[in-house]
Each structure stands twice: as structure tokens, then as C-alpha cells.
Structure 1
Amino acid sequence: MCAIFGIIGTYEEEKAIEAFDTLAHRGIDAKYIIAKDHCFLGVHRLAITNVTKTLTQIYDQDGLQILFNGEIYNYEVLAEELQLHKPSEIDVLYTAYRVWGDDFVTHLRGMFAIAIIEEAQVKLFRDPFGKKPIYYTLDEQRFIFASEMKAIHSLIPLTLNREIVTQYLSFQTPLSPKTFDKKIYQVDEGEMLTFALEGKRIARKKYYTPLRKTQVIENEEHAVEVLEKSLLESVALRLPKEVKFACLLSGGVDSSLISAIASLEQRVDTFSIGYEGYEKYDERPFAKVVAEHIKSNHHEVIFSKADFLQTIEEVVSSLDEPLADPAMLPLYYLMKKVHKEGFKVVLTGDGSDELFMGYRTYKEFYALEQASGLEFKGWLQNYFKSHFSMHKEWEWYKRIFEESTLFRSTAEIFTDLQQNRLLRMNVKDNRSLAALEPYKEEFEQYGRVSPMEWYSFVDLKVMLGNVFLRKLDRMSMAHSIEARSPFLDKEVVATAFSCTPDLRMMKPSKALVKNVARKYLPNEIVDRKKKGFNYPYMEWLQESGELEVIHRIQEKMNLFNESELEMYLEKGKQGMFKQHLFSLYMLCKWLEKVNRRS
């Protein structure tokens, strides 16, 4: 695990090193640099595999350079197949590339961002689900790539993309490949990007999709058997052999199951976070039940209002662009504590809800889809258009009656019409849907038609790939911790998308996962009602006066219509539109930081 950075073209070595060193938090154990004419390459290493070896992290041989950020969990299996004796991961990558060419990436089982420089070309590869980031930019003098945008911004100033604000307000973040900078892009998940020096051409190619059917699973018993087998293997592959690891344990069925499986062969450490005085948000009692059941060495962390306010400043300072998930703040604080205890790796339960239909809203949306068959929906369409409401249900019915795509990911916050009323710009209806068009095309290309499969697929792309995994990477790597998510293994994902929609939507919610979990966890954990992650972030923001930053940015940039903005702020005092307000707060907090630096 590490950070990678490269400049192909003209550069000043001192400035290149300064840019590279902005990524030092991602790899604190060693750094490696190659500086040649028209080529600067750098790697910061976080030693997790082959810890005692002094490795060459930049492979430079036969006119080929390889830089690698991530973990290849099956590298020893691939080494045996390629007849290599005790190689490092990067040795395996080199040989695999020589043997299989660009298709080498399809043999990998892990999380990664890989750069290969060969014969006047740069090739960037990103893992299938977007766990590890890689950004790039191109101008007349050079092509730059980096694990985080801050390294690129050390060399070129931010060119703010005001148009991307609508996408951020829709989905909590810009959707890959776009960013808040007009000149910087990110490589998409499951994508290979090629930059050719001659003609300075960029080509993008998808090498992975979860939609390709390898089998169809229709029987519940068989589905549970296959899922359990793939999960056991996935967790085993992700247990580090050379450094301390811990499991993040919320007390929900997903993180509890991962923790329980990890504890089968050894005693594990578990971490949970809670909020004193806010018991309705606190899940520590459930986490404690699981910890006692699996006999883990359990750590409880308390997140106070003071911790929250301090964490905001640290997170905003580290973010290259705004992210509207309030869960990132306690996660950042928890990772800080995990790091202080000496752990380098954590296991998480991310991915289960999206793959196995764990969100309550999935069933609500599917029930609503049935309204598309109403005989007199034309009249209802006209009625809804002339009777606007701020309630989300109004937007849902409008989409149904217009025969538009209803579900646009669990990440959706502001609808297009809400944005049109709030922003001082014209936001056309269905603008958010246009951003999802590449996903829609991919979904239809592979012959998928079930609404339930669309819900899962678009959330895998948006909620997971663009929001949760981005959050997880930034908050963990800020403290030099590698986060591993066993549910997001290619084999586990293939199992999910091989199951028929009816199997994945069986009652109770996440029935397949729960049927596996019954072998490893108490029934009180398996059967308890899902509790969405929450904590008193809005109460703390209001009490502390932090929301005043929205007024300061409004006065400086005039982004919003005043009356609509005040409506959100007033409704927020009544406990409404919390997520909407938090997204506005993070946007303005980030813009204030950017304005101070410019």
C-alpha cells in the first residue's frame, strides 16, 4: 500500500519532489524516486507485505517502469502460475504484464492503482470497484498522475468547475471521471487509461463489469452455500500475515460477520465508536455483544462534540474536494485512534447493503415502480407538475408518471428541481439522470432489465465507488491505515449478481447474508432491525455556529437564492433536511478554504 506519482514531460525537480511529498501520509515507511529527463516517478511505501525486505517499489527494467499502489491478494497464486520463486507483488505484476499484456489486470484479485510507462505510453489501471484512487491531468508540457489531487495542485492551481456543484449536490460528490477541477480527472473504476505521448492522445477502456453473467443461481440453499464459501475465502485472503490488523465493528450484521469470520483462526481486535449522551445514535451495546461472542480484544472510542469540531478542521484541511457524507468525521477520528494503537490494516463490512439489497428504500422504490402501469397517469403527471412539493415522494411520483428513471442511487440528496430553486443557475430537470447515463448504457448493454438489479448496480457505482470508498480511502490513508472490504471481492460480487433478483430481495432484508451469519453470530444481532448510521452532527453544527460559513460564502460568491437558502436553514432547526444542509455546509467549508489559499 502506498502513494504513486508521476510526471511525463518537462518539470523542475525541486517542485516535483515537493508535490510528491504531499502524499507522504499514504506511505510512511519509505519513499522511492526516479528522476530522468522528461520523466519523474515517485512511490511512498506503507509496508504491509514483505515488511522486512527492502523492495524496489518502482520497477525499472527493459524500458518498462511500473508503479503500484494497493494489495494483490492472490499474488502468490499468480506467482506459482507464472513460475516465479518468492517474488514481491511488483515482480508478479511485471511478469504478468509481460505474459498477458494489458489483460494482466483481469487476473488480479485485490485493490490497486497501477501505472505502467513503456514505449512512449503511460497506462493507468484502477481496481474493479474504485477502492484505490488515481487522478491525472494533461497540458502542453506534461502528463501528471497522482494518488490524490493535492499532489497535482502543488504544481498547477485549482481551476474551479462551478458546473460540477450540481452533481455534488445530487450525489454527495462528483462522479468519476469528473472532479471539482476543470483540468483534473480520475480514472474510473475497472478502467484502463492510455496516454500516448505522440499526439498527446488519451484513450479509456473498461476491463471489468459486474454484470457479465458466469452462472445463474436460483436456489436459496445453493446461494447461501456459494456466498459463505466466497466470503470465507475473501476474508482469509485479506488477513495480513506480517502486521497488526483490526476489525471495525458497528454491531450491524455486516461488520459483525466479517469480524466473526476473521476471528475463526485467531483472536482479533475490534473497534467501535459511540456518542455519550446520545444513546439513540449509539450502537456500542450491540458491538459489545458481538465482541463477547467472538472473544475479541474490544476497543470503544467516544466521539464528543469537541472531537467533532476539531475533526472537521482536520478533514476539510486534508480534502481535495468536498464530500457530503457526515460519517467521514467519526470514521476519521476512529482511524486516528486505530493508528495510535499500532494497527496498519482494518477490515470493514462495506458493500453488503448494496450487493444484497439491505437498504429499506430498495423495497419502497420497487413498490413505487408498479405505479408506472396506472391507466390515467397522464392526468397525474400534469397534476404533479402544477403542484410542486419539497417532499421526496413528490419527486418520485413525478418520475414514475413521466416514465423517467426512478432510482438514481441511495446517494441522491438534492433533486434537480430543488437545485433549480436553490442555485443561482438554471438546473434543468433530469440533469442528474444525464450524469448516470454511462451506467445506464452499461446496464442495458449486458441485458439486465430488473429494477432491483439496477438499484444494486447504480449504488455499486455511485454510493460505493464514488462516496463510501472515496471516504474510506481518504479517512484511513490520512492515518496510514489500509482498509480492506471483504464483501467487495470480485468473487463475492459475482455471487451477488449471479443470484436472481427475487433471491436478493427475499425477506427479511439481506436474507442471504443473514442466513450465512446465523452460523457465526447470535440471533439477536442477525435479526435486529437495521439502524442507519447516524449521530448528532446537525445538532453540533447548529449549537457551535458552524453553519455561519454558508452565509459567509453566500456573501462572497452569491451561489444561492436567499429565500430558498433561508428555508433550508430554518427547516434544519426543526430537524428536517439534515443531509441537504450538511452537503451545503461541506461545500461552503471547502470553498472557504480554497478562497483563503487563492
Structure 2
Amino acid sequence: MSGLCGWIGHGAGERDLIDRMAAPLAHFDGAATEAVNGSRSAVAVAAFDHARHLHVADGLVVALWGQPVPRDAALAELAAARGLATALATQWPKGPEHVCNALAGAFTLCVIDERNGEALLAIDRMGVQPLTWQLAGEALLFATSADALRVHPLGRTEIDAQGMYNYVYFHMVPSPGTIYRDQQRLLPGEFLHYRQGRVDTKPYWRMAFQENGTRSFEELQAEFMAQLRNGVQNASLGGKVGAFLSGGTDSSTIAGILCQVGGGGADTYSIGFEAQGYDEMEYARIASRHFGTRHHEYYVTPDDVAAAIPKVAAVCDQPFGNASAVPAYYCARMARADGITRMLGGDGGDELFGGNERYAKQHVFALYDRVPQLLRKALLEPAVFNFPGGERVRLLRKARSYIEQASVGMPARLETYNLLGRYGPQQVFTDDFLAGTDVGQPLASLARTYGQSEAKSLINRMLALDLKITLADNDLPKVMKACELAGVEVAFPFLDDAMVAFSATLTPQQKLNGTQLRWFFKKALTGFLPDQIITKQKHGFGLPFGVWLQQHKPLQELASDSLHDLKKRGIVRGAFIEQLVGQHLSEHAGYHGTMVWVLMMLEQWFSQREH
């Protein structure tokens, strides 16, 4: 993986330590590494030439991974003449926040000023590129992968029980937490300022929604299409470019715009499954024919899944349970075999323009709040819950379910069907493990993130939450790691800073019109996208793991062996694992197969780091 790593406040020690820390960063793509050692600091950047930036002069080091662009024209001119890192060095006297806001695009940044014992760490607004850090005494260690951080002699390697619990709850470890004790990750749009052994973290940017827009649809549409072209053009710089194409609105839009800016048919890549209800290849073909792309397909098999599981676990520096990483990897691998060096993903469209089905669902639940409380408590709820034999009346059962869910406050209502919550933590985990965790912490962290948004509308508060939890913590790492494993770069045109800012100017109704998802997005693209794509139900790269697990012996053996080994760690109850694979899976393969996958990937992650 490309990235950066280093430390400040620790003796130089072994001169090759920084090289050994950087080694995991270039393990899969073989990117070149540049490193510099100071008297009490060191930094390394491992990346391809266009994404590796390093400035060293007079005790000041600026290290940057990514392809951001300066916001200021004069700074951009200086960067073109002397290099981006050198241009940023001129901004350091103006302060850390100024340096962060000087950049647009995806990046990870480090500034070390040994003269004053200071350092700055920062990541981009959307959290596309990560950064993990640890304070060890007065030493600050940092790396874009915890696997690099572990190499340093002061790096902590003890597993954090709370991080593990959060993983099983969310199927990933949400930032700022990690799987390791005393290690944290920067949040999207956040910077860390180190001074003489002490650290402060602070946001330099937050999503600010402008909810009372008055511009005409025609004006908005023109700007939207222009921003799309600019975003795809910016994301296409550096190497031979291709695009993921699932057949959904986002990937189809990116593919179509890529054909426009490239002046011809773009290379697009799709994954299919020979499993009923999971294959969306026909929609990808519709989009490809419509735009005239050079389309490439691959059908993932159960054998492919079994082969990829250890690899996915190895490339992830945190336990990661999003099964869609497997088809994303095979898609990127197919592109790499064709000489593609950079893939464009459609991620971010849902979280910017209101595309997730839960937005419409929560809108319906929120309507219950408009019913006067006296009417709810004195009439509706007694009638629904106390009706004799109501459990046998389908309409009353649905009414009870609606009221029960609508009565739960946000954002806890989003987790009504959480898999771990359905099983019960006490049924899943051992008592000894639970003694070191706070089972309420996941919901508390969601509430904190939800409460940080100043948006007034429900849809925008949900979007702000999803930009962090769904996008930065889940979907972006999925695609980033899959592409890293395949040896290609990836960029996300919808997450271009200008497009993000544009999305914030849309009114809540332009994102969710009643229960119509993506109202503006779909209307603006009518005539550009095929009608079948605009009207199709959302799907994505879902993996039929539960179905295949019942039929495919190698997958069964891999899952069984993994869960058997996990039992020995004293984390998950043996009785739960036996019930999961012996009873639950046969009852509902799709539902319970998710927990098998999550626990299997946890053990695979452990195993990959122990060998």
C-alpha cells in the first residue's frame, strides 16, 4: 500500500528503522520509498512518483501522500515550479489549520519541525486516506497503516477489547478507535498538532449544509454536470484509467462521464455471481452499451471467495467484515491485468445526494413524531397494543412494529436490526471478554457523531452520519484495500471537494422528496443515464456467501476451521458458534451467514498477523 509513516520525539536509533516501518506500505504495489532521518524524528513516503511528495530543509520536513491540489492560485503556481511539498513548507509559519485548508482532494499530510519540537498530521475532508497515531511517552508515532506502526519498538500491539467488540457490532472498527490499545485514527477533516510531547486534535473542516437553497433546477443541473466532469477529469490524472461498473446510478454516471472527458469508450469492469438474486450484470451491460464502454466482466466463484479470504484479511490493518471487498478485489485485479493503473469508483453518491433506502424508511418513522403525544399515548398505542388477539392480525402486527421502531430516538433507531443486538452480546461473547468492554459504547459513539451535525433536517443529519460511518469507516476502506491488494490506485470523483460543497447547497427535499430517493440526482441525469438505470432498485456488489456456504465444501471447511480457532481465544462463546453453524445457518443462510463471515474474518485477521 502506498502511504507514509514516521515519528517525532524519539532518538534516531537504528538508521534502517524508518525503512522497516515503511516496508508494509509498499508490500502490495511495490511503490518507491523516500525516507529522511532527523536527530529525533524520521519520515518515509511510499508511493508512485505522482503521489509522493517530500521536502527537507533547515530542520523542516513536509511529507505528503496523494494528489491534492492547492486551493490558492499563487500556491499552485509555486507548487508547479518547486513541488507541492516545498510549496506547503512556505505555509507552515501561518499555522497547522492554514496548511490543511490550503489543500483540496484526498491526502495524508505530515509536517515535522524539529527546530521547535512541533509536528502536524492531517487527512483529507472525506477521510479517503487514513492515518493512525500513538503517543508513547513524549514520542508521537504515526503511519497510514497500523501494520507499519507495529514495527516501531514503541508501537503498541496489545489488542483493545472495545475495538474488537465494536468490530463485531459494526463489521468494522469505527474511527477514531482502532483494534490496538492506545492507537487512534484521525477523523475525516481532522488534524493533530504535536508540541513538545503533547498532542491536540481538532477539525479543520466539517460538512455545513445550506438547507434553504433558492436556485433554479436548471442552474443547479448545469453546475452539477460541470462538477461531474471536473471531478472525473481530476481523478483521471496519472496512469491508465478504468472504472468500476455495477450498473447502479453512481458507477454508471462515472463511467458515462469518463467516456465524455476521455473522448471515447472507457474501460469498465463488472463482477457477477451465479446465484439467484445476486447478479446485476445485465444493468452493467445496459450502461456499457448506452455509453459505448469497453466492458469487461468476471463471474466470481465460491473457489474465488475461498482463495481471497486470507488475502483480504492480510491487506487490512484492522479487522474488516465487509464481504463486498472480495468482488471489488476481483474487479480491480481484472483491470490490473489489462494494464489499468487507476480505477474510478462511484462511492459517495448515496451519502451526498440521499440514495440509501434507510433515508426513506426513517422519514416514514419520523412522521410518527408529528402525531400529538396525547393522541399517541391515550388512543393509538393502547388500541394497537391492547387489542385482543392482535398478534394474530397482520395489520396490527405491522402497526406495533412501526410504533416500536418510531418510538426509538435517532440514531439508535438505525440499529434496530443490528445483528449483534439481535443475538445479544451476552449470548455471543464470553463473560471474561465482556468484562473489558462497554456494550453501550457503539450507540454512544453514533450519538456523538450524529449530534455534531448542525443540520436541521433529518435527511442531512443522516447524511452527515453516513459520511463518517458508512463511507469513511466502511465503503472507502473496502475499495481502497481491494485495489491495494490488486496493485492499482483508486479515486472517487463524487468526493471531489467542489462536488461535496455543491451537494451541501441542495435542499433536503431535493435529496429526499417524500420517500423518493435522490430526487435531484436522478432528475438531473434523466436523458444522460438509461431509464432502466434510473428506475432500478439499489443493489451493489453483494456477495452470496451464506448461500454458497451451504453448498461449497472448501468454504465450509475454511469457515469451520476459522471459527474453531476463534473459539480458543476466549472471545466468543463456543456454544454460540455451534448454534450459529449448526442451526441458525440452515434456518436463514443470508442473514446468519453475515455473522459467520464477520467472525471468520476476525480469526483470519488474527491468523495473518501471527504468521
Which range, TM-score by smaller chain? Answer: 0.7 to 0.9
Amino acid at match of 1:231: L
Alpha carbons 1:248, 1:348 under 8 Å: kept: yes
List aligned pairs for 1:355-394, cutoff 5 A.
355-372=352-369, 373=371, 375-376=376-377
Aligned residue in 1 for 2:584: 571
Aligned letter for 1:190?
G
Q: Aligned equivalents of 1:217 and 1:27: distance in 2?
A: 47
- Alignment TM-score, normalising by the size of structure 2: 0.86
SS in 2 for 1:145: strand
With over 3 angstroms needed to count, the CA separation of the structure-2 counterparts of 1:75 and 1:107, relative to structure 1, is closer
**Would the aligned equivalents of 1:553 and 1:591 in 2 still touch at CA under 8 Å?**
no
Aligned twin of 1:193: 192
- Alignment map for 1:267-286 (pairs within 5 Å): 267-275=264-272, 277-278=274-275, 280-286=277-283
**Aligned position for 1:433:** 443
The one-character-per-residue Cα deviations of 1:127-155 (angstroms, maximum 9, x if unpaired) are 00110011111213732111111111123
Post-superposition Cα deviations, 1:443-498, rounded to whole Å, max 9, x if no partner, equal 1xx2x232222221111110001011112222222334221111112222222222
3-state DSSP class of the match of 1:449?
Answer: coil
Q: Which amino acid aligns with 2:584?
A: K
C-alpha separation between the residues in 2 aligned to 1:292 and 1:257? 13
SS of match in other structure, 1:587 = helix
> How do residues 22-33 of structure 1 correspond to structure 2 at under 5 angstroms?
22-25=24-27, 28-33=30-35
Q: Does the CA contact (< 8 Å) of 2:412 and 2:443 recur in 1?
A: no
Report the counterpart of residue 52 of structure 1 in structure 2: none
Deviations 1:273-306 (A, max 9, x none): 3345325322222212222222222221232222
Unaligned runs of 5+ in 2: 392-396
Find the partner of 1:211 among 197, 208, 212.
208
**For the residues of structure 1 that align with 2:323 and 2:416, how far apart are their CA atoms?**
15
Residue 128 of structure 1 aligns to which amino acid in structure 2?
Answer: R
Does the C-alpha gap of structure 1 residues 278 and 126 become closer, same or farther in structure 2, counting only changes over 3 Å? same
Give the drift of 1:61. Answer: 1.7
CA distance in 1, matches of 2:64, 2:79: 19
Distance 2:398 2:65 in 1: 41
CA shift, 1:517, in A, is: 2.2
1:65 maps to which residue?
A: 61
Amino acid at match of 1:243: G
Is 1:260 aligned to residue 260 of structure 2? no
3-state SS of the aligned residue for 1:234? helix
Deviations 1:138-180 (A, max 9, x none): 2137321111111111234520111222221222212111100
Partners of 1:432 and 1:247 in 2: how far apart?
Answer: 34
The 2-side partners of 1:166 and 1:180 are apart by 9
The aligned counterpart of 1:5 is 5
Alignment partner of 2:315 out of 298, 315, 318: 318
What is the match of residue 523 of structure 1?
A: 531
- 1:110-149 paired onto structure 2 within 5 Å: 110-118=105-113, 119-140=116-137, 142-149=139-146
Cα 1:405/1:438, change in 2 over 3 Å: closer
Of the three residues 490, 494, 501, the one matched with 2:501 is 494
1:558 & 1:393 partners in 2: Cα distance?
A: 42
- Per-residue CA deviation, residues 90-126 of structure 1 (Å, 9 max, x unaligned), is 2333334456753132232200000001121111011
- Aligned pair count? 577
* Distance of aligned partners of 1:409 and 1:219 in 2 relative to their CA distance in 1, 3 Å threshold: farther
**Secondary structure at the residue paired with 1:138?**
strand
- Aligned-residue CA RMSD (Å): 3.2
CA displacement at 1:84 relative to structure 2: 5.8
* Alignment partner, residue 509 of structure 1: 517
Cα pair 1:550 1:588 within 8 Å, conserved: yes
Deviation of the 1:322 alpha carbon: 1.1
Q: Which moved more, 1:147-156 or 1:531-540?
A: 531-540
Matched-pair contact (CA < 8 Å) for 1:356–1:510: yes
AA matched with 1:571: H
2:476 matched residue in structure 1: 469
Matches of 2:461 and 2:441, distance apart in 1: 19
Q: Distance in 1 between matches of 2:417 and 2:88?
A: 35
Aligned counterparts of 1:167 and 1:580: Cα–Cα separation in 2:
14
Of all paired residues, the percent bearing the same amino acid is 20
Q: CA deviation at 1:378?
A: 8.1
Q: 1:278 to 1:538 in 2, by over 3 A?
A: same
Q: Taking structure 1 as reference, are residues 93 and 61 closer, same or farther at Cα in structure 2, changes over 3 Å only?
A: same
Deviation at 1:19, TM superposition (A): 2.0
d(CA) in 1 for partners of 2:22, 2:341: 22
> How do residues 164-313 of structure 1 correspond to structure 2 at under 5 angstroms?
164-196=163-195, 198=196, 200-211=197-208, 213=210, 216-217=213-214, 219-240=216-237, 242-265=238-261, 266-275=263-272, 277-278=274-275, 280-313=277-310
Write the deviation string for residues 319-347 of structure 1: whole angstroms up to 9, x where unpaired.
22211110001112222222222222111
- 2:394 alignment counterpart: none
**TM-score, reference length from structure 1:** 0.87
Whether 1:351 and 2:352 are equivalent positions in the alignment is: no
Contact map agreement 2:270 2:281 (CA 8 A) in 1: yes
What is the one-letter code of the residue matched to 1:435? S
**Contact 2:259–2:293 (Cα < 8 Å) also in 1:** yes
- Equivalent-residue separation in structure 2 for 1:532 and 1:560 (angstroms): 31
Is the Cα contact below 8 Å between 2:274 and 2:301 reproduced in 1? no
Q: 1:86 aligns with which of 81, 85, 94?
A: 81
Cα separation, 2, equivalents of 1:191 and 1:238: 23
Residues 412 and 467 (structure 1 numbering): CA distance in 2 closer, same or farther, change over 3 Å? Answer: farther
* 75-84 or 581-590, larger mean C-alpha shift: 75-84
SS at match of 1:577: helix
**1:588 matched residue in structure 2:** 603
Q: Partners of 2:79 and 2:180 in 1: how far apart?
A: 43
Supply the distance in 2 between the matched residues of 1:284 and 1:75 (Cα, whole angstroms): 40
- Give the gaps of 5 or more residues in structure 1: 50-54
Q: Distance in 2 between matches of 1:392 and 1:559?
A: 37
